[in-house]
Amino acid sequence: MKILHPSCRLPCLQLHNSIFILLLILSLLLSSCRLGSFPWKSGEKNSGVILESTQYSGKIHTLIYFPDSTGSYLIPEDRIAEFDTSLEKTVMKELLRGPLSSSTVSPIPAGTKLLSISRSRDSVNVNLSGEFKRNHPGGSTAELMSIYSIVDSLTEIPGVNRVLFKIDGKLQGTLAGHVTFNKPIGRNRALLKRNKALNPAEVLNLQMTLESQGKWLEAYLLLSDDDKNPDRKFFTDYVTEMEEVKQLGFTNQKFTVGDYTIDETGAKARVRVDFYTLNPDGSKKVVNTAYFNTVKIEGIWMVDWATTQ
């Protein structure tokens, strides 16, 4: 049985009293979740269809990547932005505004303007003004950071896998002489700072702990960013649903992450989690056991958006 994982956190505890039943009903009404053993995360599958502007309005959370001061990694920033027409346009406008943190730098050359942006299936077409090329400082590192801060930010939108750049409406062979620039460019995970040392149980324990602490950005970054995963959610949807879950008190569930088994492909693992309450003498009473999936993406274990009973 497949159960959608984080963004709708319901207890998989047996419901022994009317309070838990009431909380469950309220949660289902708020989040439209599918009931499962421990579905922290839920929602409809992403169809890859362009998101309509009517689905978002006002302030939304966007995940934007900016280079660190050394040009070694892209650092994520949770930007609360005013939604503008589409997620793609909103993300690009935040990139052009530059970082808020003093530990990161802007990857976009001065004077660069967004002339147009559109989406065709899994690809976003970004048309930037000539300043993007003319004012670029050059060098392979700066070129990588300029390109992939845009690509990795836009591919945080579920269903977007590639970005095609144009400058003043025309394709260019390269931006600064080092990266092929005239065809769609995919996500570069090598520039994202991820912990390769974590095993499946450790990454799940960390992700669940961060969620219990309300650290949505850090928790979200440990979820699978597989571009073929239909259950993946955009950051603002994840935050909205987890805030609802927190208000219902479900992030307070006590848990212990146990052992795990890796499948024959070596790319998927099933991790046991026991949920418990404390007896009057302080001992633990296990009230439910669930199994979560983790997936290995480019050598990194990440928490899958779906789990199994």
Whole-model pTM?
A: 0.84
Question: Which helix (H) or strand (E) element contains residue 147?
Answer: helix 140-154
Cβ neighbors of 101 (< 8 A, separation 6 or more) are: 66, 75, 77
Does residue 67 carry a pLDDT above 50? yes
Mean pLDDT of 33-62: 52
pLDDT at 12: 40
Encoded amino acid at 229, one letter = N
pLDDT in tens, 88-130: 999 999 999 999 999 999 999 999 999 999 999 999 999 999 9
Classify residue 176 as left (phi > 0), alpha (psi -120 to 50) or beta: alpha
pLDDT in tens, 263-291: 999 999 999 999 999 999 999 999 999 99
Work out the percent of the chain whose per-residue pLDDT is above 90.
73
pLDDT tier at 308, thresholds 50, 70, 90: low
Encoded amino acid at 288, one letter = N
Does residue 221 carry a pLDDT above 90? yes
Instruction: Give the residue extent of every domain in the chain.
Output: 2-46+194-308, 53-191
Work out the percent of the chain whose per-residue pLDDT is above 70.
82
Distance CA 235, CA 221 (A): 9
Classify residue 282 as left (phi > 0), alpha (psi -120 to 50) or beta: left
Per the prediction, the chain carries an average pLDDT of 85
- The distance from CA 183 to its chain's CA centroid, rounded to whole angstroms, is 25
pLDDT at 4: 52
Does residue 40 carry a pLDDT above 60? no
What are the percentages of helix, strand and coil residues in the chain, rounded to 5?
A: 25, 30, 45
Cβ neighbors of 35 (< 8 A, separation 6 or more) are: 10, 24, 28
pLDDT at 32: 38
Q: Which fold has domain 2-46+194-308?
A: Nuclear Transport Factor 2; Chain: A, (3.10.450)
